[in-house]
């Protein structure tokens, strides 16, 4: 195989697969990318057996063929070159010469025949979604997915469709939780019901992260589901995700009743900055911040016997009884960062119930943070 490709195109494709290729695996082939060149097209493929990604782009194909390259090293080489064109040429001794006209690298490669065959779904109902909207939805829920291996049932994002009560229009909902906090975002989609996921599906976190990256770069992205596989396609790119075989817990049961909630408004940036200051004194043993509501003042207070204390007051509209409740400040930071609302609404019930976070400009989003013992 010998091809000449534009560095920008190849670098973009290799950047997309860095989150997919395996760093450590019993199968060395999973740390490589497969390059297939034919008929003026280069197809870049990567997989970890749970996700499969392909990116196609035009290139000058001098000799058709297939090779595998170590994904991370090839990416590093591309980042350092300053030339617009990159030439790749296969040698008979199973090495590939990579040259930009100035620098020259020679990399060994594994047999392309050992690379796992990627599946591309066909004959399925595809739903077109605006890439920006999908990317924003994912950014508002992905932080809440559990990172604990024991939490397999929670280690993904729950997607399901429903119907809006008033208009009868289809709604796509995404929910994630780690047992200590929950994030939910829903949006109207004219043809969401065509996905056939009224009962819901579980998409692994890694797959949702890659889906978010793909959506952020695409004007329109097409989604489709077939058996236990979830596919997302854009012009020239295709991502296939194997769904999790687990059931998401009944998240609606942890939502406080609206009539029991006391709501206060606070400037998002002020609360975010305050929590960042509070977290400075937190460590593995002392990681709670105390929120006190009393007479139109919300006080946030952090203490660590080994280090000291931090305290800050914010003016709010509150006329109820004094309320003290503890929370992990990192959860507030991660929930507030992806929001765009200038003002957020915090909902409290008592010291044993979760705090609810919403924002007017973040329509469809609800964040929930469980309290901690002080």
Summarize pLDDT for 57-87 with one digit per residue, the tens: 999 999 999 999 999 999 999 999 989 999 9
Q: How far is residue 307's CA from residue 287's CA, in Å, rounded to a whole number?
A: 12
If asked whether residues 158 and 242 sit together in one domain, one would say: yes
122 in a structural domain: no
Q: What is the pTM of this model?
A: 0.91
374 in a structural domain: no
If asked whether residues 264 and 358 sit together in one domain, one would say: yes
Tokens at residue 374, please? 């002080």
121 in a structural domain: no
Tokens at residue 229, please? 């596989």
If asked whether residues 18 and 47 sit together in one domain, one would say: yes
Label residue 149 by pLDDT band (50, 70, 90).
Answer: low
Which tens digit of pLDDT belongs to each residue from 214-266? 999 999 999 999 889 999 999 889 999 999 988 888 888 888 888 889 999 99
Domain boundary among 114, 140, 158: 114
What percent of the chain stands above pLDDT 90? 76
pLDDT, mean over the chain: 92
If asked whether residues 261 and 170 sit together in one domain, one would say: no
119 in a structural domain: no
DSSP 313: E
More confident residue, 56 or 168: 56
If asked whether residues 239 and 319 sit together in one domain, one would say: no
Alpha helices (H) along 18-143: 71-80, 131-139
Q: For residue 146, is pLDDT > 90?
A: no
Query: What is the pLDDT averaged over residues 107-125?
Result: 87
If asked whether residues 294 and 342 sit together in one domain, one would say: yes
Q: How far is residue 169's CA from residue 277's CA, in Å, rounded to a whole number?
A: 43
If asked whether residues 287 and 184 sit together in one domain, one would say: no
Domain of residue 269, residue span: 255-369
154 in a structural domain: yes
If asked whether residues 315 and 284 sit together in one domain, one would say: yes
Neighbours of 125 (CB within 10 A): 12
From first CA to last CA, the distance across the chain in angstroms is 65
Label residue 153 by pLDDT band (50, 70, 90).
Answer: low
327 in a structural domain: yes
User: What is the total count of domains within the chain?
Assistant: 3
If asked whether residues 108 and 159 sit together in one domain, one would say: no
Q: For residue 361, is pLDDT > 90?
A: yes
Q: For residue 150, is pLDDT > 60?
A: no
120 in a structural domain: no
3-state secondary structure of 176: strand
If asked whether residues 152 and 235 sit together in one domain, one would say: yes
The angle subtended at Cα 85 by Cα 81 and Cα 87, nearest 5°, is 90
If asked whether residues 310 and 229 sit together in one domain, one would say: no
pLDDT of residue 93: 84
Q: List the CATH number of the domain containing 163.
A: 3.10.150.10
If asked whether residues 226 and 260 sit together in one domain, one would say: no
Query: What is the pLDDT averaged over residues 161-190?
Result: 90
Domain boundary among 252, 283, 318: 252
């Amino acid at each position: 195989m010998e091809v000449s490709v534009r560095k920008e195109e190849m670098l973009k494709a290799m950047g997309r697969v860095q989150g997919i290729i395996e760093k450590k695996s019993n199968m060395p082939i999973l740390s490589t990318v497969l390059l297939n060149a034919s008929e003026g097209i280069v197809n870049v493929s990567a997989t970890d057996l749970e996700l499969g990604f392909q990116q196609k782009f035009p290139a000058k194909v001098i000799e058709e063929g297939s090779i595998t390259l170590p994904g991370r090293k090839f990416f590093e080489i591309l980042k350092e070159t300053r030339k617009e064109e990159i030439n790749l040429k296969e040698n008979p001794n199973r090495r590939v010469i990579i040259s930009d006209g100035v620098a020259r690298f020679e990399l060994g490669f594994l047999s392309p025949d050992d690379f796992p065959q990627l599946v591309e779904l066909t004959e399925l109902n595809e739903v077109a979604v605006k890439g920006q909207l999908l990317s924003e939805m994912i950014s508002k829920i992905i932080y809440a997915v559990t990172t604990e291996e024991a939490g397999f049932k929670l280690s993904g994002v729950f997607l399901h469709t429903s119907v809006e009560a008033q208009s009868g229009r289809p709604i796509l909902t995404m929910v994630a939780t780690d047992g200590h906090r929950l994030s939910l975002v829903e949006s109207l989609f004219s043809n969401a019901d065509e996905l056939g996921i009224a009962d819901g599906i579980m998409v692994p976190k890694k797959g949702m992260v890659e889906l978010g990256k793909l959506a952020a770069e695409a004007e329109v992205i097409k989604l489709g589901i077939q058996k236990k596989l979830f596919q997302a396609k854009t012009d020239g790119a295709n991502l296939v995700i194997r769904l999790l075989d687990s059931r998401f817990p009944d998240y609606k049961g942890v939502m406080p009743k609206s009539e029991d909630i006391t709501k206060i408004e606070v400037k998002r940036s002020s609360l975010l900055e305050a929590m960042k200051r509070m977290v400075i004194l937190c460590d593995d043993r002392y990681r709670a911040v105390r929120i006190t509501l009393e007479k139109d003042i919300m006080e946030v207070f952090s203490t660590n016997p080994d280090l000291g204390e931090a305290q800050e007051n914010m003016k709010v509209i509150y006329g109820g009884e004094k309320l003290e409740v503890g929370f992990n400040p990192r959860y507030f930071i991660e929930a507030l960062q992806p929001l765009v609302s200038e003002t957020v609404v915090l909902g409290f019930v008592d010291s044993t119930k979760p705090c609810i976070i919403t924002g007017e400009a973040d329509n469809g989003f609800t964040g929930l943070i469980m309290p901690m013992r002080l």
